[in-house]
Structure 1
Amino acid sequence: MLAGGKGSRLRPFTYSGAKQLLPIGNTPVLFFALRQIVEADIVDVAIVVGDTADQVMAAAGDGSAFGARFTYLRQPAPLGIAHALGLARDFAAGEPVLLYLGDNMLRGGIRDFVERFRQSDAAGAVIVRRVPNPSAFGVAVFEGGRLVRVVEKPAEPPSDLAVVGIYAFRPVVFDVVAAQRPSARGELEIADTINGLLERGLRVDVTHTDAEWVDTGKMEDTLAANRIVLDDMEPSIAPDAVLRDCRIDGRAVIERGAIVERSEIVGPVAVGVGARIRDSRVGPYVSVGAGAEIVASEVSNAIVMERARVERCMGLSASMIGRDARVAGLPAGAAVTLGDHSAVELP
């Protein structure tokens, strides 16, 4: 499991936190990947961490909350996905490995993919999905129905089949990584690892999927992942949640201690522990973090993180509000990206 990297495309949020801990549906994106791994009957998990190691370790713990055992491996610098994989050689101890990028989310899980690999004799396995913008990803090249090459972020993509950030490998992969040289950007590329296996005459199997897949590396993708999670959630209202003079249309999760007063909730919406919503219309597709407040506002398609406050904002949408941030008095139809501990207040 990869939980390092700088997350430069998700600034300002990654100035103060790990990109893999950004909340979607009020749950860190990393946790969805970890749950899928455990659901695939994998319980020994190495998490590769970088500068935000302390935050990731504090959030994920020792694995017991997931029914797993976590080992943490430190990557000294962002030296590439393949470099991070190579750090796990001793951890793997000669066994096959699953590599999952912690800021990716694949709807429906990976159990079938993992089981197919367990039953095969392939050296590796990847998942591919058709995308409208293949030049932003590693792209699969096929000949006679077999994978023959992966091209990383090509200017002229040979196909529209992007390689999803979830891979499986036999132990030979560590020999390939050890022989790799850094790319022009100074990293060991996972595309080169896959190509190295193929150049040795080894087979890399491919699973085609049409399941929704999101690489949450940008704000708009994080919001898309939030929508997917909210669509899939089971509605629930905690017994001690307080609902006064409010209306709830559609699915909503309202957690313990939350207070909703004189407001309309248009699902899907998730309201975290101790959050407060007053005199507002919230939804659809809004996650309100623990302890956050929305007052006299209309908010849709947004992530409002822990202890943030939104006040007097009508038509706020396509927005991410960081932890302990404050937004007030924005004009109708505003969209805002505001980092942790920041404030934008208009009269």
Structure 2
Amino acid sequence: MKALIPAAGLGTRLRPLTYTRPKPVLRVAGQPIIVHALHTLREAGITEVGIVVSDITREAIEHATHDVQGVQITLINQQQQLGLGHAVLMAREWIGQDDFCVYLGDNLFESGAMPFVEQFQRERPSALIALVEVPDPTAFGVAQLDGSRITQLVEKPKIPPSNLAVAGLYCFTPEIFSILEGMPPSARGEYEITDGIQGLIEQGRTVTGQSVVGWWKDTGRPADLLDANRLLLERVEADVQGEVVESRITGRVVVPASARVVRSKIVGPVILGEDVVIEDAYIGPFTSIGRGTVVRGAEVEHSVIDEEACIENVSQRLQDCLVGVRAQVRGGRTVPRTHSLTISDGSLVELA
């Protein structure tokens, strides 16, 4: 069984972070989102993965995934972003006659992909769809069930037939290609995978739904990235190898051998990347800090700080922040307060 990860778009809802990088390479809990997806697929026994890219995402995706072990990756080009159904159709030659899983690379599942892959392989319906109950299903594809069989699937309905939203994981036999090939675009001009699945249903094929066990996270907005970082850091185990001088480390904290912590306090769960320097600082729970970043004379918690960033002399606590690659946050000694920042790669913010 193969897997397909669509990663051709930038992700406009995550601007300004995605002005310079595509969404799947943004980091949570120390790794790009797409790397978490690849690990999830590998754990489900899938070792051949196609990643659908565009000219603007190819280089970043290739860089983010080049050292992932245990998975054979093929990049598949999609010149125009015309919907998920179109992305799947672009991979038809690579998939061939194999069954395959479509895993949206910006989604995270507590239980991973394995329960869905195993169920699909046991029963082998024409399609198996991951479903999750949501309070407002109008922003999702929505399924109506008869037992475990899906009888209707509609995309972003104004009047939903149920509260069961399609999560970001689908398993298919190659039958889906015959539906997608002749399918017209939707009203918004895209080839919807939900329309393709509905086509299978209308032809009398078996399409089943399987509920997500545990949490599910779609990292489509900045707040979702922070929440995904928090959920993944809940799994962290303490591993302090780096230099720790006149500092206090409490809870589950990862300090790699090349990192330094000087005259600081860290309260886990926290992940520090390679060559990170923490000096005269406080790092609070649910914070991940990328390779080569310096935090000096500052307080940071519940945040994602990417690689080679610099946060210095900020008396205000930084909380719920997303700080991009090589971004800088500087400040002076002012009345203490809390700031929440989302700043893109290479930015400079001075708090005076």
Fold-level similarity (TM above 0.5): yes
Q: Determine whether 1:299 maps to 2:300.
A: yes
1:1-347 pair list within 5 angstroms? 1-50=5-54, 51-61=56-66, 65-143=68-146, 146-238=149-241, 241-311=242-312, 312-329=314-331, 332-347=337-352
C-alpha contact 1:38 1:66 (8 A) present in aligned 2: no
Deviations 1:231-279, CA, capped at 9 Å, x for gaps: 11222122xx111111111111112311111111111001111111111
Aligned CA distance change for structure 1 residues 333 and 282 (closer, same or farther; 3 Å): same
Which whole-Å CA distance do the structure 1 matches of 2:328 and 2:74 have between them? 37
Aligned CA distance change for structure 1 residues 222 and 195 (closer, same or farther; 3 Å): same
Identity of aligned residues (%): 38
C-alpha contact 2:148 2:209 (8 A) present in aligned 1: no
RMSD after superposition: 1.5
Which whole-Å CA distance do the structure 1 matches of 2:278 and 2:57 have between them? 32
Which whole-Å CA distance do the structure 1 matches of 2:154 and 2:213 have between them? 21
Gap regions ≥5 residues in structure 1: none
TM-score (norm 1): 0.95
Q: Secondary structure at the match of 1:187?
A: coil
TM-score (norm 2): 0.94
- By how many angstroms is 1:144 displaced? 5.3
Which whole-Å CA distance do the structure 2 matches of 1:122 and 1:179 have between them? 21
Which whole-Å CA distance do the structure 2 matches of 1:156 and 1:294 have between them? 49
- By how many angstroms is 1:145 displaced? 5.2
Which whole-Å CA distance do the structure 2 matches of 1:158 and 1:259 have between them? 55
C-alpha contact 1:6 1:78 (8 A) present in aligned 2: no
Which whole-Å CA distance do the structure 1 matches of 2:233 and 2:315 have between them? 22
C-alpha contact 1:321 1:340 (8 A) present in aligned 2: yes
- By how many angstroms is 1:55 displaced? 1.2
After TM superposition, the runs of 4+ consecutive aligned structure 1 residues lying more than 4 A away are none
Deviations 1:33-71, CA, capped at 9 Å, x for gaps: 11111111111111101121011112212xx73212111
Q: Secondary structure at the match of 1:314?
A: strand
Which whole-Å CA distance do the structure 1 matches of 2:100 and 2:23 have between them? 23
